[in-house]
Amino acid sequence: MNDCSSCIVRNRAICSSLTPDELLILGKMGRRQKVKAGHTLLWEGDDAPVVANVLEGVLKLVVAASDGREQIVGIVFPSDFIGRPFGKESPYSVTAMTDAEVCIFNRNAFDDFASDHPDLQQKLLRRTLDELDRARHWMMLLGRKSATEKVASFLLEMADRLSGQGCNADGSLNGFELPFGRQQIADILGLTIETTSRQLTRMKSDGLVSLPSRREIVIRNRAAMEEMAG
């Protein structure tokens, strides 16, 4: 069984609402599992018998059209929660973008446990509300922004979200390494890979960013970038 008290996300995941006793019970229900980059944990439309906490790595939530077009509808980092409590089918696929490790629970058992632990449920509610806000802002981006604005917004949001894991003193992270490639950026922004690439090259030659390697981004002029994000 798991020793949750030493879990790396102990203080950040929804489990942080639990007392040591409760943690012991939940610990018995969960099991750790590694997921290799590219592997899919949950398939869109399938019955999803599990929910999980992310311990390590980055995963994407994907909705696909019948002809293969993909839209990434969420990105999940360590301490985030995966899955759909109180619902049977997974409304999207969950795929690892990097090697990852998750702590998975049987959904029914988790639902029952949650129903008995209001604090846990409130944490989950808060998280879900936050996710919903984020999703809705992303809808604005997808529906109304130009390619340039999309890429700028994306870089700023990534700078924000990646600053959790290791950043410079003032908390504003301007250089970071993306955990995924160009096609994935395109799938997040609702663009093609070519358009995404062109926008990045343009920003580079305009001195807004530098691109030390394929996956590294350094924002050189944050003010102009924010201006550009619209």
Partner DNA sequence: CGAGGCCTTGACTGGAGTCAATTAGTGTGG
Partner DNA sequence: CCACACTAATTGACTCCAGTCAAGGCCTCG
Chain residues in the site for a second copy (CB under 8 A): 61, 63-67, 69-71, 73-74, 84-87, 91-92, 115, 118, 121-122, 124-126, 128-129, 131-133, 135-140, 142-145, 189-190, 230
3-state secondary structure 116-151: HCHHHHHHHHHHHHHHHHHHHHHHHHHHHCCHHHHH
- For the record, the structure tokens of 137 come out as 């802002």
- Asked if 209 contacts 219 with a C-beta cutoff of 8 angstroms, the reply is yes
| Min CB(120)–a second copy separation in Å | 10
Please state, in angstroms and as integers, the Cα–Cα distance from residue 76 to each residue in 56, 87, 109, following that order.
10, 19, 23
Q: Which is nearer to DNA, 115 or 146 (CB)?
A: 146
181 makes contact with DNA (CB under 7 A): yes
Q: Which is nearer to a second copy, 92 or 176 (CB)?
A: 92
Selected range binding DNA among 12-20, 46-54, 91-99, 146-154, rule: CB under 7 A: 146-154
Of a second copy, DNA, none, which one does residue 129 interact with (CB within 5 to 8 Å by kind)?
A: a second copy
45 makes contact with DNA (CB under 7 A): no
217 makes contact with DNA (CB under 7 A): no
- Asked if 31 contacts 73 with a C-beta cutoff of 8 angstroms, the reply is no
Interface with DNA (CB under 7 A), residue from 106, 121, 163, 197: 197
Compute the distance between CA of residue 147 and CA of residue 142 in angstroms, rounded to an integer: 9
- Asked if 60 contacts 54 with a C-beta cutoff of 8 angstroms, the reply is no
71 makes contact with DNA (CB under 7 A): no
Angle at 183 between CA 179 and CA 189, to 5 degrees: 90
Binding site for DNA (CB under 7 A): 146-148, 181-183, 190-198, 200-201, 211, 213-215
